[in-house]
């Protein structure tokens, strides 16, 4: 492989409809030559000039063959399902993810959903919209709750899950971590179990939080059997990917009362179709896949990008968040 271009000779194309990566990168590294694109057509037209591409959802597989100068792609997102890793290896183009760029935001979003379900904030908001005052709940089961002493089972204990575990423990919760490699914890938890033991651990959890990547192993992980294994009164929080959950089974469990509550940030189809029963369920909080949104996101991605540009310039074999 030829030497990576000198920093002074690099042209970087940042393609995203919303994130202001160009502004952050220009502010942080004014010596770099940077271009921007806000849609696929504009990005495709400028692709031939780029040595480095910073992109996520706009990426199209045919871009790899069309980008004659391309040497490195920095994904703007933590997920890299849209990239064909083998094709990148064959083309000699390096690829890295933005894993960790939104770990704080997603972990805090998951915690907010746990607290919102516990304190029934969504129900209070619904009553506010109707200017309705219902007073104190007469049944203990209808009251707001507290999370101290409850158990959070966190599926996926990487950067997001481990940080959420720290938050949960700070609030007095017991944390069970579910992860692929049980030999490497990577964060504080009271207990760690393998993915294969998930259904055995589910009955002990008050809150089941999905913070895992979408892989062949995790697709449909929370199916009808897993939902049936959850204890009465438990809640499901999904800040991972919609396909980790069998959505039809989830809706059935919620409608039949087998699952008490859910707070969902991602769905099988996005945007969530207007006719989805999830919109109208009083025991469900829907957020619009915004768990990773943060005002710091651009700078967090640029941190990773600049680190990787330095590594490539040195000829390092290993990149930060390396994928290919």
Q: How remote is the C-alpha of 206 from its chain's centroid?
A: 22
Tell me the HSE value of 194 on the side-chain side, using a 13 A CA sphere: 5
Tokens representing residue 78 in the block: 């933590």
User: Per the residue annotation, which of 146, 196, 200, 270 is the catalytic one?
Assistant: 270
The phi and psi torsions of 304 (rounded to 5 degrees) equal -70, -45
User: Per the residue annotation, which of 71, 109, 163, 241 is the catalytic one?
Assistant: 241
Q: Known catalytic residue: 219?
A: no
CB 26 within 8 A of CB 34: yes
The phi and psi torsions of 207 (rounded to 5 degrees) equal -130, 125
User: Per the residue annotation, which of 33, 42, 289, 293 is the catalytic one?
Assistant: 289
Q: Known catalytic residue: 270?
A: yes
Contacts of 297 (CB under 8 A, 6+ apart): 19, 101, 102, 105
Contacts of 73 (CB under 8 A, 6+ apart): 52, 53, 54, 55, 59, 83, 88, 93, 94, 95, 96
Q: Tell me how far apart the alpha carbons of residues 71 and 181 are, in angstroms, rounded to a whole number.
A: 32
Distances, alpha carbon 233 to alpha carbons 30, 126, 206, in Å: 54, 21, 7
> Is there a cis peptide before residue 186, judged by omega within 30 degrees of 0?
no
Q: Known catalytic residue: 289?
A: yes
Residue with tokens 């369920």: 281
- Dihedral of alpha carbons 221, 222, 224, 230, sign: positive
Active site residues: 241, 270, 289
């Amino acid at each position: 492989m030829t030497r990576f271009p000198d920093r002074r000779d690099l042209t970087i194309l940042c393609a995203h409809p919303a994130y202001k990566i160009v502004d952050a990168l220009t502010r942080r590294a004014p010596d770099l030559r940077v271009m921007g694109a806000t849609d696929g057509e504009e990005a495709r037209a400028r692709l031939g000039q780029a040595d480095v591409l910073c992109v996520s959802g706009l990426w199209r597989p045919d871009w790899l063959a069309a980008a004659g100068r391309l040497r490195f792609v920095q994904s703007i997102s933590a997920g890299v399902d849209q990239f064909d890793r083998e094709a990148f290896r064959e083309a000699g183009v390096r690829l890295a993810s933005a894993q960790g760029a939104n770990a704080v935001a997603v972990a805090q979003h998951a915690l907010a959903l746990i607290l919102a379900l516990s304190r029934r904030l969504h129900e209070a908001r619904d009553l506010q919209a109707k200017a309705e005052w219902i007073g104190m709940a007469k049944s203990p089961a209808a009251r707001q709750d507290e999370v101290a002493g409850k158990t959070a089972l966190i599926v996926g204990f990487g950067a997001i899950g481990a940080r959420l575990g720290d938050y949960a423990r700070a609030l007095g919760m017991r944390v069970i971590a579910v992860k692929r490699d049980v030999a490497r914890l990577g964060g504080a938890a009271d207990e760690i179990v393998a993915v294969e033991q998930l259904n055995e651990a589910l009955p002990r959890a008050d809150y089941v939080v999905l913070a895992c990547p979408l892989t062949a192993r995790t697709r449909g992980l929370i199916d009808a059997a897993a939902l049936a294994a959850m204890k009465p009164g438990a809640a499901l929080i999904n800040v991972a990917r919609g396909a980790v959950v069998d959505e039809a089974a989830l809706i059935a469990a919620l409608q039949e009362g087998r699952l008490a509550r859910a707070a969902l940030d991602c769905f099988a189809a996005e945007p969530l179709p207007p006719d989805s029963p999830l919109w109208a369920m009083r025991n469900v909080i829907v957020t619009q896949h915004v768990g990773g949104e943060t005002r710091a996101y651009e700078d967090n991605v640029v941190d990773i990008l600049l680190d990787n540009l330095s590594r490539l310039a040195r000829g390092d074999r290993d990149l930060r968040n390396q994928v290919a």
